[in-house]
Structure 1
Amino acid sequence: MLGKSTAAAFLGLPLAVLMVGFAALLSHDQVNTTLPWLLLFFLVWIATMTAAFLFKTGLRAWLWMGGMTIAGYAALHFLKASGLIRIAA
């Protein structure tokens, strides 16, 4: 239980930021859709922390959530570096 709790506490926030960030960046109208996504951030954060307790062991929670976080931020970096995603001004 301690492993799942620490995975939820330490990996829930960056994973939620990643999911909301991807949703906001991939929307066609970033100016009008970013604020609603940011308002839903707290619910996404709670959902990611709750999802940590669905794993059988704490090690699995750390590995899956950590792997998804690393892969997601690597994909975000690749998409921004290649120019496929741009932030609307």
Structure 2
Amino acid sequence: MWGRATAGALPGFVLAAALVGLFGRLWPGPWQSTLVVGMVLLFPLWIGIAAISFRFASGLRAWAWLGGLALLALAALWLLQATGWVA
């Protein structure tokens, strides 16, 4: 249980933050216009991901999936920035 809980808390937060960052960067217009909406959506999204982490069979699977998805989302955010698709 503790493994799933910490997976929801640590990589779950990183995943939620990266998804909010992707939302802010991909939305038309300047990213600053999505800052307040992103901050409002971050906590419910994080709690949803933390709740989903308890659906995994073990803490190791939760860490693997959520950590992998968080790394993938961060890589996508970095790729958008590195290629110049977003300012």
TM-score by length of 2: 0.87
CA RMSD of aligned residues (A): 1.3
Corresponding residue for residue 17 of structure 2: 17
**Separation of aligned partners in 2, 1:32 and 1:10:** 27
The answer to whether residue 17 in structure 2 is matched with residue 5 in structure 1 is no
Q: Which runs of 5+ in 1 are unaligned?
A: none
Matches within 5 A, 1:53-68: 53-68=54-69
Work out the number of aligned pairs and report it: 86
Residue type at the aligned position of 1:81: A
The alpha carbon displacement at 1:44 in A equals 0.9
Q: Which runs of 5+ in 2 are unaligned?
A: none
- Secondary structure (helix, strand or coil) at the match of 1:54 reads coil
Ranges of 4+ aligned residues in structure 1 off by more than 4 Å: none
Deviates more, 1:59-68 or 1:27-36: 27-36
Q: Any conservation in 1 of the 2:24–2:34 contact (CA below 8 Å)? A: yes
The alpha carbon displacement at 1:13 in A equals 1.2
The answer to whether residue 39 in structure 2 is matched with residue 38 in structure 1 is yes
